[in-house]
Copies of this chain bind each other. A is one copy, B any other.
């Protein structure tokens, strides 16, 4: 049950739940896994940027990964981005031993040239082992690293274990088109492309050739439905549903502030017990909570799953 270059569907990005004292809330992890299963996702990705991974200690990261994996009956990808290869190696090894489906690696924000990026991922493969499937996280907005299609092709060409692109460049539609054209022309290996960026362009990303979504929107059901409707060619319906969610999708996709929205809604939905984040955290003001509630109420008129207690 590992990810491959043919993986498709929805991999939800799971937050890391904390209790009010800031401790990892393992019980909420179980509840989240059950919720995601019911929502119909194909897999989970944990310990990403929005999983507050950098705020965990090494031992906590291992424990979180294990808990998700042991509860889930579907593939779990584990984020192993780290300031150095030694810590990456240990967490990746631990996660794969525990049954992870693969690992995800974001580039450190000091990389600039094409060569630096390629060499960085060469080093990653040395660290995690050539048999460990991995996901490139391509998120320049957050990481400030810009990877061209040709750089992605070079990494994937050199490493069969590079199986997936978490695509969240912005703008990014042409990048998907270019990558698929390179694959068709034989100048890039076929990669699974799952889209992040909060789902803000998922309506068109799927039409451009993406295989699905890997993002953390607080209604993963929307992502699942969208992939399904698009797969069945029911384009207008897909857009109708997407457009109904877009005001909230957009609100949740605010850099830094988005995680607070996501945890707030997930708490309101009963998926996690607390919306606590570890420091440094951006809390949701009363005004912002009211705005989210208003958006939920408006959404509920078009998607009743948004009708919360």
Contact = CB atoms under 8 A, between A and B. Distances in A.
A57 B87 contact: yes
Given A57-B87, A246-B247, A287-B173, A110 B109 contact: yes
A146 interface: yes
Contacts of A59: 58
Contacts of A242: 247
Contacts of A288: 173-174
Contacts of A208: 287
A150 B288 CA distance: 21
B109 A254 contact: no
Interface string A91-118: 0000000000000000001101111100
Q: How large is the interface on A (under 10, 10 to 19, 20 to 34, 35 or more residues)?
A: 35 or more
26 contacts: A54-B84, A55-B84, A56-B86, A56-B87, A57-B58, A57-B86, A58-B87, A85-B279, A86-B278, A109-B109, A113-B146, A113-B148, A123-B279, A126-B279, A170-B255, A171-B256, A171-B257, A177-B285, A200-B250, A203-B247, A208-B287, A239-B298, A243-B247, A243-B298, A246-B246, A250-B250
Interface in A201-226: 201, 203-204, 207-208
A278 B177 contact: no
A55 B151 contact: no
Contacts of A57: 58, 86-87, 90
